[in-house]
Amino acid sequence: MSTAEPDNALTLPDDITETVATALAEDIGDGDRNAVVVDEDSAATARVVAREACVLAGAAWFEAVFTQLDDRCRVTWHYHDGDSLKPDTIICEVRGPARSLLTGERTALNFLQLLSGVASDTRRFVDRVKGTRVRILDTRKTLPGLRSAQKYAVRCGGGINHRFGLFDGILIKENHIAAAGSIANAVSRAREAHPELMLQVEVENLNELDEALAADADSVLLDNFPSHILSRAVNKCRRHLLPNRRSVISEASGDISLRNIRDYADTEVDRISIGGLTKNVTATDFSMRLQMD
């Protein structure tokens, strides 16, 4: 049985149909040459098993593979995205034409193993910082074409999403600063063009932090700060009040792992962003076993 109800934070992205269609076209091309091993009118039931402990993510993509192949396919789920699974757990059954089940198997499992891998890794980081104020964030370091899916998987693991892309938030990084001439110039120009957007500045030392605070950045990304220096930076952010009387949001990044993340979280930084959640993905092991009806 399911161990959790779907959460409102797990709102599905609106590009699942297109993403799945692209993946199926990539795999099938002009036809599945393997499917002829079973009769066209044969029906089957397949069980999908999680072979290792994980956090489930990707059910909608998995299901869309089979419904796009054949609307007679039906998936019965025993768990929800975001649920923690033990090894050898049966997560669902798929019933339908045997040829469709065989054709969709690899593509469906690819989505499930990738997204569950992202969710599982995220959950490990979230669990490691329990009891602190910090929230775990993703970044734009995603697999091309799968950003919305991977960011959804991060939410399944208990993380939160940073900006989706270049259009819905401003992050001024070292190359922007070099091009604009200074942090102050970069912030001023960005504010003038897009006053409605959250503006964050990446800084690499306390002097740059002072410049970003003086420019009234909404948030600072404290990149590769040792934890003892990060504590000083976080205190500076808390003391600096923006025109709306709120303190600057502090975010740490760079060379943060499960081994050292607790040290960073204990500085009381607001957020920690980890590119590896979506960039260095270890797929979860799932299998699908077919039985003819």
Give per-residue pLDDT as tens, 29-44.
999 999 889 999 999 9
Instruction: Name residue 170's beta-bridge partners.
Output: 199
Confirm whether pTM is higher than 0.85.
yes
CATH fold label, 128-279 = TIM Barrel (3.20.20)
The pLDDT value recorded for residue 1 is 28
**174-216: per-residue pLDDT in tens?**
999 999 999 999 999 999 999 999 999 999 999 999 999 999 9
- Return the CATH architecture of domain 8-125+281-292: Alpha-Beta Complex (3.90)
Contact 117, 56 (CB under 8 A): no
Residues whose CB is less than 8 angstroms from the CB of residue 83 and which lie 6 or more positions away in sequence, other chains included? 2, 3, 4, 55, 56
Average the pLDDT over 104-126 and give the result: 98
Average the pLDDT over 43-52 and give the result: 98
The pLDDT value recorded for residue 58 is 98
124: left (phi over 0), alpha (psi -120 to 50) or beta: alpha
How many residues are there in the chain?
293
**71-87: per-residue pLDDT in tens?**
999 999 999 999 999 99
Distances from the Cα of 154 to the Cα of 26, 83, 151, 201, angstroms: 25, 13, 5, 23
Catalytic residue IDs = 106, 141, 173, 202, 223
Three-class DSSP category at 198? coil
- Comparing CA positions, the residue from 233, 238, 218 lying closest to residue 171 is 218
Range(s) within the chain of domains with CATH label 3.90.1170.20:
8-125+281-292
Average the pLDDT over 133-139 and give the result: 97
Answer whether residue 7 shows pLDDT above 80.
no
Range(s) within the chain of domains with CATH label 3.20.20.70:
128-279
* Lookup: tokens for 271: 């957020």
The pLDDT value recorded for residue 4 is 38
